[in-house]
Amino acid sequence: MRTLFVTGGAGFIGSAFVRLVLDELPSCEVTNFDALTYAGNPDNLTGLDASRHHFVRGDIADREAVRAAMAENTDAIINFAAESHVDRSITSADEFLRTNVVGTQVLLDAARERKVRRFVQVSTDEVMGSLPEDGNAYFTENSPYEPNSPYAASKAAAEHLVRAAHHTFSLDTVTTRCGNNYGPRQFPEKLIPLVISNALHDETVPVYGDGRNVRDWIYVEDHCRAILHALEKGQSGAIYNIGARNECRNIEVVEAILNKLGKPLSLIRYVKDRLGHDRRYAIDPAKTEAELGWLPLETWESGLRKTIDWYKENSEWIARTRSGAYREFYARQYGTEVGAD
């Protein structure tokens, strides 16, 4: 059995990755190490094969906890664990530095100590800043670092630490950078699940600014497949940009979802723009496609349909995530209670 140490595997993308590994690699077992912050959800792990999936609650910035959880024969570390929401990083950056920066260094140290074969850092296109709105510019692996939010800056710092571990200690590392993911089990503070869950409850849908910010959307399983390709076939020390060539303005995303749900566009409520809101992200995935032989399997149409169907069929999952701490966050961010309108 090959042992993968997956961090953040109770979150949105990490849990999809764990599912994919258990489904597609019968000779792999997974240690899933996750602190279960507000974004980590044990509900995301239901139905997994318990003989090959071992969940350990722990903090990646806690060196002893990482050591205790990591098996001696760990083959690879795949680091999804992060504070991942830009809005929260604008309110306070402390946790972003602790988890995204200190936590990544702790994992890199553990990888060296345990002689782990490969370290995969799951990063974001946001480390490269914002592109001109109507240009033909795209992010490539050589784009300069220009992080604009505390979240993006902390992820850029993590990338630098990964690079340094490769350069200084010859640690076998691969960094993947992806655009905006959508799909099942995403915490409803993020745009697509927020729109779906509010619309299903006939509540207004907050849209930042003029709604014309452009994001490059990818179905979560396609992202996870690309990470798996990078783990197996990526060049040591390389960065791979992952994208599905699917640019969309936020307002187009919102309108598409409302239309598919048969809800009126009058639910849209424009709210004060996010501070420092990046205008456009667009990824050139040519290197990933050519070197890793990866292509997305879902179109925007098929991925969005699957996503909407999942949220419709899992109303209990939504109900549980919309309770508790999420209510405080929502009220602070959008100036209204969840379900107040």
Ligand X SMILES: NC(=O)c1ccc[n+]([C@@H]2O[C@H](COP(=O)([O-])OP(=O)(O)OC[C@H]3O[C@@H](n4cnc5c(N)ncnc54)[C@H](O)[C@@H]3O)[C@@H](O)[C@H]2O)c1
Q: How many CB atoms lie within 10 A of CB 233?
A: 13
φ and ψ of 144, to 5 deg: -70, 155
Contact call for residue 13 and ligand X (CB under 6 A): yes
- Report the alpha-carbon distance of residue 46 to residue 87 in Å, rounded: 29
For the stretch 8-40, what's the b/e string if a residue is b when 16 or more beta carbons lie within 10 angstroms of its beta carbon?
bbbbbbbbbbbbbbbeebeeebbbbbbbebbbb
* 155 belongs to the binding site for ligand X (CB under 6 A): yes
Nearer to ligand X, 60 or 263 (CB): 60
Stretch that binds ligand X, among 36-44, 198-206, 258-266, 317-325 (CB under 6 A): 36-44
User: Alpha-carbon distance 189 to 224, whole Å?
Assistant: 21
**Using N-to-C axis directions, what is the helix angle for 150-169 and 104-113, rounded to 10°?**
20
**Does the annotation mark 151 as catalytic?**
yes
What is the SS3 assignment for 78? strand
Comparing CB distances to ligand X, the nearer of 187 and 294 is 187
Residues 43-62 that bind ligand X (CB under 6 A): 59-61
The C-alpha atoms of residue 306 and residue 287 are separated, in whole angstroms, by 28
Give the active site residue among 34, 59, 83, 125: 125
262: left (phi > 0), else alpha (psi -120 to 50), else beta? left
234 binds ligand X (CB under 6 A): no
What is the distance between the terminal CA atoms of the chain, rounded to a whole angstrom? 52
37 counts as binding ligand X under rule CB under 6 A: yes
Q: Which two tokens stand for residue 251?
A: 């307002």
Residue nearest to ligand X (CB): 11
Tell me the number of residues near ligand X by CB under 6 A. 30
**CB of 31 or CB of 263, closer to ligand X:** 31
247 is a site residue for ligand X (CB under 6 A): no
Nearest approach in angstroms of CB 99 to ligand X is: 4
Contact positions with ligand X (CB under 6 A) in 110-149:
122, 124
Interaction of residue 187 with ligand X, rule CB under 6 A: yes
Minimum distance from CB of 202 to ligand X (Å)?
A: 26
Give the x/- contact pattern for ligand X in 62-81, rule: CB under 6 A.
Answer: ------------------xx
**313 catalytically annotated:** no
Q: Is 206 in the site for ligand X (CB under 6 A)?
A: no
Estimate to the nearest angstrom the gap between the alpha carbon of 143 and the chain centroid. 20
Choice among 29, 126, 247, 289 that is catalytic: 126
Residue 274 makes CB contacts below 8 A (sequence gap 6+) with: 86, 87, 90, 208, 209
Q: Where does this chain bind ligand X (CB under 6 A)?
A: 7-8, 10-14, 34-37, 39-40, 59-61, 80-84, 99, 103, 122, 124, 155, 178, 180-181, 187
Catalytic residues, by residue number, are: 125-126, 151
